[in-house]
Amino acid sequence: MAESTGPTRTAPGPARWQVPDVDAAALALARQVRAAAEALSASGRSRWAAVLEPLAAPLEDGDLAAIRTAANRVRAAFGVGESVAEDLSAEQGRGLRDATDAALRALDRYEALDRYEARARHDMTRRAR
């Protein structure tokens, strides 16, 4: 049996490079995640480093759904009981949080615009009948 060398399914919607705002925000978040993971590893906080390290890859080259999933997981690390911000410097914690929020806002803006355009197309086809 031959092994699969590529993805088994393609993600619906555009590629991430076709949505430059989301792509830029995801790459900025990936840089913040890598920097935070390195700082946490260097300071002996391996628990949070283990949470953050695998999230950088989908932020760097994942599809839009993978970006949302990874960004939501980073944001979830800022919990009320335990927070990754407690183990980072104040500057790094704010930078990571702000980059996460920026990526999620960019995704929300894209999805809202996409829904608006889909609704406008639907209305135009109904009027054409």
Where in the chain are the domains? 16-128
Q: Indicate the pTM of the whole model.
A: 0.81
Summarised one tens digit per residue, pLDDT across range 49-70 is 999 999 999 999 999 999 999 9
Summarised one tens digit per residue, pLDDT across range 88-113 is 999 999 999 999 999 999 999 999 98
Task: Output 7-14 pairs: Cβ under 8 A, ≥24 positions apart.
Answer: 11/63, 11/64, 11/65, 11/66, 13/63, 13/64, 13/114, 14/64
| Per-residue pLDDT at 15 | 84
